[in-house]
């Protein structure tokens, strides 16, 4: 689960990591008052959306007066932000963070993830702050210093001090830098983060160490023990079809193509998208109905797939194990009645109770249904149908 | 022969009185697995629906019925702890089926298991099956083909569930048997991985070829490719799911995500091909690929 910058900044503050004074506004009218409350000469106005590319899109602006703050805020609230990460329609801005602008002397990067290969958390630090860590990793991997730490012991003080020294931090700033890393590591472990990143962490011209921007992702599987984090979820940032699917325990991801997919199992669902592409088609979605699919769940899956106007054909690929083919066949019959098929639906069933399922589908004689002999045949048929 | 489990393996089920645990214990018993008991805290001293003894703790179960493998169906919030309890009781192999376990729980559990020399399969996996002898998990047993005199046999390692069934089905339909099939699971932090299992299959005289099914996310397949080049002489056939997956999106499995330019299908396929491994472009031609290699 992703959170907004202003929410991440509040978490840093709670953890005792210094950030510049700020205000969050939800309408342009609040901008002037917020400007005065911050009480700085220059204030940075930042749209709060999950998508990146805000700076280049003109949604991070420096302002020097209440009027200017209001004008920029009004523009950001009025026009959806379009960046390479948002798609052409852009995303609507619902909140804006206003923060004191600081004079930066040096920028650093500090971030924590779980290292999958070593199976422990790793803190990464770099003196090349303000740019994406992936970019640094690709261009100059030696610029990234790493410290792996035990989840029970946490990041140890000597590790943090060594990293702060490696970044070139001196004197009291080295101590402050190490303290920031220790607090970030504690936060990462306490809140079950999958990413905790401060970028940039800056030294100001007056020698202060401050976190300017932060990004946090949380482990969805651990949200049950962090209700305070779950509360930060912003449904307006999510694709509505993906949200609807989640409510029905379906795993759905919208894509750009025109062939809808309904599959059981995540690996098979990915493989089904791949075989569509291999035969010249383009998948409209990833959809895993799960191992213990109910008829209601499968009907809902059809509803979601067929609500996408770009879908010109559907491929149903089920390998029955615990999920039974006859349950899927019943769902197909119900969906044909309740949702209605306006496009061809190619059906490939194999595995548990497949004969019963085939019999049921023959009986139902749904005109749009096209049985496939095997997976290759299914891919060919569905690609030919669009 | 087989790897890790066979007809002699004595299995307990943690979570045997839960809905999934009870159902799959019945299925495994029907397949012929020697399930000798189960654990549910608070229900010790009772019998399960299958007539098996239920214990409060794994220690008690091990002392009473002598199990060496535990199959875990405990809910996600307590599943990592259940695995640690099994390890502490001396269980040799933990098969953790549960999906949705917090990653940091698995970081902690994996270390605990490593310290005690307990091996782990999963989490978020279908389990392990040695066809004809021992099924520990949720896979449909009937699609598998046990080795017999004269059969050519494949060992299967996979990060997926149903895609593994697909692969098994394609092999069985063409007459290829399986020594053992291991679903290693779709999570970012897990137990046995490609490399350890490749070594076990390499050493198993009855396994003639190894089929590995990977997917996007992480670099396990790249590491496996480097390992195969050095240490595996049996033919390896691979498929990588997620060639069309967009970056930054979690494709169902917690571990199936391309992030920071790492974990793409293209990178994995390139690494595997560079190591001389047959990579199938299509999930529908895995059986054919095995046939090409084994004849």
The answer to whether the Cβ–Cβ distance between B104 and A117 falls below 8 Å is: no
Confidence of residue A138 (pLDDT cuts 50, 70, 90): confident
| Residue pLDDT, tens place only, A225-235 | 999 999 999 99
Query: Which residues from B are below 8 Å from A116, CB to CB?
Result: 188-189, 217-220, 255
- Compute φ and ψ for A297, nearest 5 degrees: -60, -45
**DSSP structure class, residue A298:** H
Say whether pLDDT at B133 is over 90: yes
Taking residue A248's Cβ as centre, other Cβ atoms within 10 Å add up to: 18
| Residue pLDDT, tens place only, B238-286 | 999 999 999 888 998 989 998 877 899 999 999 999 999 999 999 999 9
| Residue pLDDT, tens place only, A2-11 | 999 999 999 9
Confidence of residue B99 (pLDDT cuts 50, 70, 90): very high
Please compute the mean of the pLDDT values over residues B181-199 and round it to a whole number: 97
Q: Nearest residue on chain B to A194, judged by CA atoms?
A: B103
Burial class (CB in 10 A: 0-12, 13-18, 19+), A96: buried
Q: Nearest residue on chain B to A152, judged by CA atoms?
A: B108
Contact B294, B176 (CB under 8 A): yes
Hey, is B164 helix, strand or coil?
A: helix
Q: What is the DSSP string of A109-130?
A: EEEEEEETTTTEEEEEEES-TT
- From chain B residues 39-58, the ones with a CB under 8 A of any chain A CB are none
- Give strand pairing partners of B54: B38
The answer to whether the Cβ–Cβ distance between A271 and B102 falls below 8 Å is: no
Contact B262, B145 (CB under 8 A): no
- Compute φ and ψ for A151, nearest 5 degrees: -65, -20
Confidence of residue A155 (pLDDT cuts 50, 70, 90): very high
Using a CB–CB cutoff of 8 Å, tell me whether B166 touches chain A.
yes
- What gap in Å lies between CA B134 and CA B227, rounded to an integer? 29
| Residue pLDDT, tens place only, B208-222 | 999 999 999 999 999
Please choose, from the candidates A340, A339, A347, the residue with its C-alpha nearest in 3D space to the C-alpha of residue A318.
A347
Catalytic residues of A: 109, 197
In angstroms, how far is the first alpha carbon of chain A from the final one?
35
The answer to whether the Cβ–Cβ distance between B159 and A269 falls below 8 Å is: no
Q: Nearest residue on chain B to A192, judged by CA atoms?
A: B104
- What gap in Å lies between CA B229 and CA B211, rounded to an integer? 15
Using a CB–CB cutoff of 8 Å, tell me whether B260 touches chain A.
yes
Give how far Cα A190 sits from Cα of A115, A229, B178, Å: 17, 11, 44
Query: Which residues from A are below 8 Å from B104, CB to CB?
Result: 114, 121, 151, 189, 192, 219, 222
Residues 6 or more apart whose CB falls under 8 angstroms from that of B203 comprise: none
Say whether pLDDT at A181 is over 90: yes
Hey, is B137 helix, strand or coil?
A: strand
- What gap in Å lies between CA A206 and CA A226, rounded to an integer? 38
Using a CB–CB cutoff of 8 Å, tell me whether B289 touches chain A.
no
Contact B263, B218 (CB under 8 A): yes
Between A194, A275, A283, which is nearest B103 by CB?
Answer: A194
The answer to whether the Cβ–Cβ distance between B241 and A267 falls below 8 Å is: yes
- What gap in Å lies between CA B263 and CA B214, rounded to an integer? 11
Say whether pLDDT at B6 is over 90: yes
Contact B67, B95 (CB under 8 A): no
Please compute the mean of the pLDDT values over residues B30-47 and round it to a whole number: 97
Residues 6 or more apart whose CB falls under 8 angstroms from that of A241 comprise: A252, A254, A304, A307, A308
Lowest mean pLDDT among A269-278, B170-179, B253-262: B253-262
Contact B213, B157 (CB under 8 A): yes
The answer to whether the Cβ–Cβ distance between A253 and B105 falls below 8 Å is: no
Between A137, A151, A320, which is nearest B107 by CB?
Answer: A151
Taking residue B286's Cβ as centre, other Cβ atoms within 10 Å add up to: 27
In angstroms, how far is the first alpha carbon of chain B from the final one?
21
Say whether pLDDT at A291 is over 80: no
The answer to whether the Cβ–Cβ distance between A286 and B252 falls below 8 Å is: yes
Token output for B287: 């059986």
Please choose, from the candidates A329, A240, A330, A245, the residue with its C-alpha nearest in 3D space to the C-alpha of residue A289.
A245
Using a CB–CB cutoff of 8 Å, tell me whether B112 touches chain A.
no
For chains A and B, count residue pairs whose Cβ atoms are closer than 8 Å: 178
Say whether pLDDT at B95 is over 90: yes
Selected for mutation to probe chain B from A217, A271, A321, A373 (highest B CB count within 10 Å) is A271
Give how far Cα B36 sits from Cα of A110, B73, B209, Å: 51, 16, 33
The answer to whether the Cβ–Cβ distance between A270 and B188 falls below 8 Å is: no
Cis amide bond preceding A200, omega within 30: yes
Selected for mutation to probe chain B from A111, A270, A280 (highest B CB count within 10 Å) is A270
Residue A101, CB half-sphere, CA atoms under 13 Å: how many? 15
- Give me the pLDDT at residue B258, please: 86
């Amino acid at each position: 689960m992703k959170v907004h910058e202003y929410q991440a900044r509040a978490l840093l503050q709670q953890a005792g990591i210094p950030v510049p004074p700020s205000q969050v506004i939800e309408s342009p009218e609040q901008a002037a008052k917020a400007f005065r409350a911050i009480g700085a000469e220059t204030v940075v106005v930042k749209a709060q959306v999950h998508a990146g590319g805000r700076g280049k899109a003109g949604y991070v602006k420096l302002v020097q007066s209440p009027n200017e703050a209001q004008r920029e805020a009004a523009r950001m609230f009025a026009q959806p932000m379009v960046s390479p990460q948002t798609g052409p329609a852009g995303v609507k801005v619902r909140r804006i963070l206003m923060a004191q602008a600081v004079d930066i002397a040096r920028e650093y990067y500090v971030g924590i993830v779980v290292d999958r290969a070593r199976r422990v958390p790793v803190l990464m630090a770099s003196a090349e702050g303000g740019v994406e860590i992936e970019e640094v990793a690709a261009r100059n991997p030696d610029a990234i210093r790493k410290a792996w730490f035990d989840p029970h012991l946490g990041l140890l003080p000597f590790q943090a001090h060594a990293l702060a020294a490696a970044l070139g931090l001196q004197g009291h700033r080295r101590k402050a830098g190490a303290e920031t890393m220790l607090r970030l590591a504690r936060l990462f472990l306490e809140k079950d983060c999958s990413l905790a990143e401060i970028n940039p962490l800056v030294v100001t011209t007056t020698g202060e160490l401050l976190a300017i921007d932060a990004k946090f992702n949380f482990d969805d599987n651990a949200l049950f023990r962090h209700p305070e984090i779950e509360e930060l979820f912003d449904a307006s940032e999510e694709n509505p079809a993906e949200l609807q699917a989640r409510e029905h325990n379906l795993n759905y991801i919208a894509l750009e193509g025109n062939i809808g997919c309904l599959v059981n199992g995540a690996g098979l669902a990915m493989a089904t998208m791949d075989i569509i592409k291999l035969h010249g088609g383009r998948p409209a979605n990833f959809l895993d109905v799960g191992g213990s699919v109910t008829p209601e769940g499968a009907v809902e899956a059809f509803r979601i797939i067929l609500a996408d106007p770009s879908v010109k054909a559907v491929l149903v690929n089920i390998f029955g194990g615990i999920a039974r083919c006859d349950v899927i066949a019943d769902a197909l019959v119900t969906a044909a009645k309740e949702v209605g098929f306006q496009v061809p639906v190619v059906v490939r069933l194999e595995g548990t109770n497949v004969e019963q399922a085939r019999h049921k589908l023959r009986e139902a004689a749904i005109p749009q249904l096209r049985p496939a002999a095997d997976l290759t045949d299914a891919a060919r048929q569905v690609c030919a149908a669009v | 022969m087989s790897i890790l489990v066979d007809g002699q393996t004595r299995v307990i089920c943690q979570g045997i009185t839960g809905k999934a645990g009870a159902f799959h214990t019945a299925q495994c018993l029907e397949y012929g697995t020697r399930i000798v008991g189960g654990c549910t805290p608070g229900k010790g001293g009772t019998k399960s629906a299958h007539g098996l003894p239920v214990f409060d703790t794994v220690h008690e179960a091990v002392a009473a019925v002598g199990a060496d493998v535990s199959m875990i169906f405990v809910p996600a919030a307590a599943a990592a702890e259940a695995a640690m309890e099994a390890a502490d009781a001396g269980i040799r192999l933990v098969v953790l089926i549960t999906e949705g376990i917090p990653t940091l729980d698995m970081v902690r559990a994996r270390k605990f298991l490593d310290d005690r020399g307990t091996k782990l399969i999963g989490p978020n996996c279908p389990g392990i099956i040695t066809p004809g002898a021992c099924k520990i998990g949720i896979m449909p047993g009937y699609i598998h083909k046990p080795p017999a005199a004269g059969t050519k046999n494949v060992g299967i390692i996979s990060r997926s569930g149903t895609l593994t069934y697909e692969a098994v089905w394609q092999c069985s339909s063409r007459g290829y048997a399986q020594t053992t099939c291991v679903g290693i699971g779709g999570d970012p932090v897990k137990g046995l991985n490609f490399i350890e299992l490749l070594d076990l299959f390499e050493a198993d005289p009855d396994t003639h070829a190894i089929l590995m099914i990977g997917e996007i996310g992480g670099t396990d397949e790249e590491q496996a490719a480097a390992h195969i080049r050095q240490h595996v002489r049996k033919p390896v056939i691979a498929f990588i799911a997620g060639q069309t997956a967009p970056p930054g999106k979690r494709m169902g499995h917690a571990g199936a995500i391309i992030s920071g330019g790492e974990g793409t299908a293209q990178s994995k396929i390139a690494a595997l091909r560079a190591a001389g491994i047959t990579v199938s472009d299509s999930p529908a031609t895995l059986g054919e690929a095995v046939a090409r290699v084994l004849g």
